[in-house]
Structure 1
Amino acid sequence: MLRGTVLLLIGVMALGVSASAYKNPLPVESEGIGAGIADPGLLRWMGKYYLYATKVKEDPGMRCWESDDLVNWKYQGLCIGDDPVFADGHGWSPGPFYYNGKFYLYVCGIDQKHRVFESDKPTGPFVCVNKDLIDVNSLDAVPLLDDDGQLYLFYAGWEGVGIQYRKTSSPIKGDGRNQTLPACQFSADSDGNFWTEGPDLWKRNGVYYLTYCGNNWIKDSYQVRVAKGRSIADLKPQKSDKLIMQLTGEWVATGCNWSIRGPNLKSLWHVYHCRKSGGHVRRMCLDRLYFDKSGDLRCDGPTWTQQPNPEPPQCCESFLRSDIGPNWQIKSGEWKIGGEDRLVGCSGEIAWKCPVGANFVAEFNVKLQKSGGKARYGIAIDAECGRADIVVDAASKSIELRSNGSPIAKGSLPQRFDLAAWHTIIIQQHNGRMQVRFDEMNKIDARIDLGSSKFSLIADDCEAAFGWCGFSNYEKGEQSL
């Protein structure tokens, strides 16, 4: 075992990349099929990442990978076989989405239509549930669940139509009115080609950030640009809108991007593809995103030298074991490991012994298993300055922040949400401001000072399950996400 470890380290050093660093483009297991890792789509789920890539005619199906750190990817096989709904065997730009207990993939193709596939697991198998989601002139669809619970689809159009969007009533319907974002369109060359594609969205502090690509992946000038706005209709290119661009060198045509929260929960990362000049096989790249003082989205990339790996969370738990473990202390009620991947509590509270700083970001995955008449479950923060509870109220379908027992803020949840499905709560405490997101919907934004603290999990008049959880502290002066 020791000899194997030494040989592995020597091999890594010989490649010029340390074990704690990566270099673009990333080597990905089983990537050398068809188009390579073209049009990467990413999903974060239970502390892990799932990667999906374009299927071309020669591929046996659509492929899926899993990673803990965004750098090292393990091939999971085909998440969709060679489904006959793929037009001429092509399935492009898979956009993954988790919603209310189901996983979805939005896939376009050579016939200018979109299909949506559904699964119970991020690795599939996915089954087509709507082969005519958007049935004309559409490309590269990605969903957005806005803070008010409204679902949107963003997508591109063929022949220079640019970025478009519509409201939808469910993740498997494209029933809203088509609307366009004429400002989010550009020509990278002097040939008048305004083909713009590959939309992706991120929302921070009430501002929408839209990244998009152009003009054609076969051109070396293919690049990523960014727009921002206080509303979707107001999205316009930010002052310096070129986010990722590489026109010359060994690797070019950087685009078709995806933005995703990093393993430490407080960083934002940009995943995109590149190719060799004159080639067609695409490779995956990774670079960190950040926000400047004006609130513009920035990236010091593309990078082609060694970069530090994304940092892991400061502390995390996956509950992949048979007992509660030494990091937890039961305060009341009954607590046990259920199904070897979740901590289950019945009418009580359990404390997490890991200390938390005054400024932090934390993620908890929760579901309601059995409910009494007044079921409430969630997270408590026991701090130097008192106690804060962030709890889901099952009866009113809301999430509430209480400080020392007094209500501070409350956010309503979509009535169609099934609380028996897994949902993600992200709590961010930064410079006296607490933000709480439920499935990335910003539901609470309040002023509250806590100081150093510890977390507890709460199940009141119910049986609740808690999946992967983790947190990282913000360092002094560090930017919040």
Structure 2
Amino acid sequence: MDLRAGRPWAPLLGGAAITTVVALIITLAGSCGPDSPKRQAKPSPRTSAPASPPAPAPPVPSPASTPVPFVAPGYSPLKPVIGDNFADPAVIKVGATYYAYGTNNGDASMPVATAPSPTGPWIKAPADGLAQLPSWADAGWTWAPEVVPPQPGSRTYLLYFSARRKGEDAQCIGVATAVSPAGPFVPVAGDPLVCPLDLGGAIDPASHIDADGTRYLLYKTDARESAAIYLMRLTPDGLRPAETAKRILGRGKDEPVLVEAPDLVRRGGKYVLLYSAGWYFKSNYQTRYAVASSINGPYEKAGRVVQSTGAYGGKIEGPGSADVLSDESGDHLVFHGIQDYLGGSKVNRGMYVTPLAWDGTRPVIRGIAARYEAERARLNGCASTFKRPRASGDKAIGPFDRDGCLVEVPVFVAGTGSYSVKIGYANRSGNASRFELTANGAGPRTVRLRESGGDDWPSTTAEVQLKPGWNTLGLRRLDGRGQIDYLEVR
């Protein structure tokens, strides 16, 4: 989704012939790795991954060439992997190569980039992945592409995209096909796949393939007053509707402006619907999620913000349009964040990638601090919970008045690596105190709790090594006293 209130880009140059040659070069380069795209094709990043072993429908992902996933030099979950304009990103893996697709950027209706890993380095293709638009579409208004790899018995890649319908101030959703993940994608002839003009049009298509192989398309209706997310079952080839679309999610009172950019996966035995809330060109744009036991709903909103400018401490602005990428190393969240404000609704947005893990149906990503209140720790009989009005959650634990007193705090993280642990505390004993911090019983390090006074609740920080999923942070008294308020992991 892009530049809704701005003028269209000028018609794009280039053509399908040039794109075909470049696409062939990119595809051959990708096939030179240990896994050929002809043999291995990663299922759509929005394809479901049930908790129980799935039926043998999607192709098996290519095997990892090393037990440790490659991480590009200089990568950080807080830095864009594509820094210039690459909005509404979606990523698939084919063989040993990752392909990213984005909203039109003035150079291409659908820019394409490739990389050897989700973290990069990403290289933009010189040609347009969608050089030819359908007869119903105006140039310069193609948004939010979604590419689906071939399913068993097929060699066809599908592209779902939104474009402005000629003669209408509204977007519609089209579908195109290709034999290469780099394109050129050729639009299917005829009318758009989805075009509810009475609801302001449709944008943000997202594919979901259920465990039994049934195809679905999600999208957002575009009129502000009635903006909502819809689900529609498709024919087995993914080219036509199989039934009338159903409204599955609308805006909540606590959500800014509207909901959009759906992405559906199956985790923790349920359907998890990620979506964005707010205007994409404002800093309060954010990612949320809802959960359902049936693909048709009802979807219950979790009431949690997965991503926001505030959650990132301002280090990423307006994070949203999230897309789940799955490979042999696990899940990753691909999304965009605002790089530059150009006036009005015009912004440049870069592409980010961060490790993603699941605590049941709850998505957890790197780069965002998660606070764990100390009163929820395993106190092991050596500390008590008491009220402290100025403490986080109005409670703290203590007093840690004997040697060896140990409390344990379970924490959940995404991705292996070094994490910063911020410890909120109070120490009114008159002297500095020392505690030992461990992660999963290893890597002990000493943290110093300086003397504090009055109602102050200062903090200190230490680094620990954690693994994906649940970990246990231990705090053991070495000397002195103190009260622990919270542990915050980033």
Q: Normalising to structure 1: TM-score of the pair? A: 0.54
User: Which residue among 164, 168, 172 is the counterpart of 2:230?
Assistant: 164
Alignment of 1:317-356 (within 5 A): none
2:273 aligns to what? Answer: 210
Residue 61 of structure 1 aligns with an amino acid whose one-letter code is: S
Give CA-to-partner distance per residue, 1:80-103, whole Å, 9 cap, x none.
215364424211000111133211
Separation in structure 2 between the aligned mates of residue 135 and residue 189 of structure 1, nearest angstrom: 26
The answer to whether the Cα contact below 8 Å between 2:81 and 2:353 also exists between their aligned partners in 1 is: no
User: Which residue among 59, 78, 89 is the counterpart of 1:40?
Assistant: 89
1:138 aligns to what? Answer: 202
Separation in structure 2 between the aligned mates of residue 124 and residue 40 of structure 1, nearest angstrom: 16
The reply on whether 1:185 has 2:272 as its aligned counterpart is no
2:321 aligns to what? Answer: 256
- Residues 1:109 and 1:289: Cα distance change in structure 2 (over 3 Å): same
Separation in structure 1 between the aligned mates of residue 416 and residue 179 of structure 2, nearest angstrom: 28
The answer to whether the Cα contact below 8 Å between 1:38 and 1:282 also exists between their aligned partners in 2 is: yes
The answer to whether the Cα contact below 8 Å between 1:70 and 1:310 also exists between their aligned partners in 2 is: no
Instruction: Please report the RMSD computed on the Cα atoms of aligned residues, expressed in angstroms.
Output: 3.1
Alignment of 1:385-400 (within 5 A): none
Which 4+ stretches in 1 moved above 4 angstroms? 187-190, 307-311, 475-479
The reply on whether 1:68 has 2:116 as its aligned counterpart is yes
1:287 aligns to what? Answer: 354
- Residues 1:187 and 1:98: Cα distance change in structure 2 (over 3 Å): farther
Structure 1 unaligned segments of length 5 or more: list them. 1-16, 312-474
Separation in structure 2 between the aligned mates of residue 163 and residue 61 of structure 1, nearest angstrom: 24
- Local SS of the residue matching 2:238: coil
Instruction: Kindly tell me the number of residue pairs found equivalent between the two proteins.
Output: 284
User: Which residue among 297, 309, 334 is the counterpart of 2:363?
Assistant: 297
The answer to whether the Cα contact below 8 Å between 2:77 and 2:367 also exists between their aligned partners in 1 is: no
The reply on whether 1:80 has 2:130 as its aligned counterpart is yes
Give CA-to-partner distance per residue, 1:157-176, whole Å, 9 cap, x none.
11233110111113111342
1:372 aligns to what? Answer: none
- Residues 1:476 and 1:221: Cα distance change in structure 2 (over 3 Å): closer
Q: CA deviation at 1:181?
A: 1.0
The reply on whether 1:104 has 2:153 as its aligned counterpart is no
**Identity among equivalent pairs (%):** 21
Structure having the higher Rg: 2
Separation in structure 2 between the aligned mates of residue 60 and residue 21 of structure 1, nearest angstrom: 26
Q: Normalising to structure 2: TM-score of the pair? A: 0.53
The answer to whether the Cα contact below 8 Å between 1:65 and 1:76 also exists between their aligned partners in 2 is: yes
The answer to whether the Cα contact below 8 Å between 2:331 and 2:355 also exists between their aligned partners in 1 is: yes
The answer to whether the Cα contact below 8 Å between 2:129 and 2:182 also exists between their aligned partners in 1 is: yes
Separation in structure 1 between the aligned mates of residue 302 and residue 253 of structure 2, nearest angstrom: 17
The answer to whether the Cα contact below 8 Å between 1:107 and 1:116 also exists between their aligned partners in 2 is: yes
Q: CA deviation at 1:267?
A: 1.8
Separation in structure 1 between the aligned mates of residue 289 and residue 305 of structure 2, nearest angstrom: 7
The answer to whether the Cα contact below 8 Å between 1:188 and 1:215 also exists between their aligned partners in 2 is: no
Separation in structure 2 between the aligned mates of residue 210 and residue 199 of structure 1, nearest angstrom: 7
The reply on whether 1:244 has 2:298 as its aligned counterpart is no
- Residues 1:477 and 1:210: Cα distance change in structure 2 (over 3 Å): closer
- Residues 1:19 and 1:207: Cα distance change in structure 2 (over 3 Å): same
The answer to whether the Cα contact below 8 Å between 1:209 and 1:228 also exists between their aligned partners in 2 is: yes
- Local SS of the residue matching 1:87: coil
Structure 2 unaligned segments of length 5 or more: list them. 1-70, 165-169, 370-412, 418-466, 472-490
The answer to whether the Cα contact below 8 Å between 1:210 and 1:235 also exists between their aligned partners in 2 is: no
